[in-house]
């Protein structure tokens, strides 16, 4: 695999301790902001909201604990990865993190893939089309997706 390729079945390697992530909550508790630093210099900021509280929540079968990550333009893939890891660790009931980028934004999709997200599909929203990427914890990825394997009792 070349250095430009991403293994979509494997989460990226952990980041060194030079990367730090600090969370601040909005007053209502429906939104958080994460500031990421590398060597104490700002490396990006990511807003995190419950997906069902955002128009994207109506575009796919969103779970009640799914989160939408909204990174600023300066946020690197590594910073996005670190925020994703912190959100998943802080809420074990969260089954999916979602990242939405403008449809056709190949660099934005690549940033998400380097951060551990997988491209899922494009959806139309009232203000334009977006490409959705998802990151899920290992327990979700490893669970069976075969209807015949679902216990009925």
Tokens 């807003």 label which residue? 47
78 close to 115: Cβ distance less than 8 angstroms: yes
109 belongs to a structural domain? yes
How many structural domains are present in the chain? 1
124 belongs to a structural domain? yes
6 belongs to a structural domain? no
Spell out a b/e string for 40-49, using b for 16 or more CB atoms within 10 Å of the CB, else e: eeebbbbebb
30 belongs to a structural domain? yes
More confident residue, 151 or 95: 95
CATH number of residue 109's parent domain: 3.40.630.30
Task: Indicate the pLDDT class of residue 3, thresholds 50, 70 and 90.
Answer: low
CB atoms inside a 10 Å sphere around CB 53: 13
Helix (H), strand (E) at residue 108: helix 106-114
125 belongs to a structural domain? yes
pLDDT over threshold 80, residue 152: no
8 belongs to a structural domain? no
Residue 69: closest CA among 21, 27, 28: 21
Q: What is the pTM of this model?
A: 0.83
33-66: pLDDT as tens digits: 999 999 999 999 999 999 999 999 998 889 999 9
Which domain range does residue 90 map to? 19-138
CA 36 from chain centre, in angstroms, equals 15
147 belongs to a structural domain? no
Task: Indicate the pLDDT class of residue 137, thresholds 50, 70 and 90.
Answer: confident
1 belongs to a structural domain? no
């Amino acid at each position: 695999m070349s250095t430009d390729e991403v293994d979509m079945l494997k989460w990226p390697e952990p980041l060194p301790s030079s990367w730090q992530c600090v969370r601040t909550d909005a007053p209502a508790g429906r939104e958080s902001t994460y500031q990421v630093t590398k060597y104490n210099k700002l490396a990006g900021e990511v807003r995190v909201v419950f997906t069902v509280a955002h128009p994207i929540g109506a575009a796919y079968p969103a779970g009640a604990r799914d989160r939408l990550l909204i990174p600023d333009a300066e946020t690197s893939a590594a910073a996005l990865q670190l925020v994703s890891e912190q959100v998943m660790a802080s809420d074990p009931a969260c089954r999916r993190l979602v990242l939405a980028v403008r449809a056709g934004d190949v660099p934005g999709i690549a940033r998400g893939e380097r951060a551990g997200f997988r491209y899922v599909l494009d959806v139309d929203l009232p203000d334009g089309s977006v490409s959705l990427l998802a990151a899920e914890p290992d327990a979700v990825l490893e669970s069976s997706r075969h209807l015949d394997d679902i216990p009925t009792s």
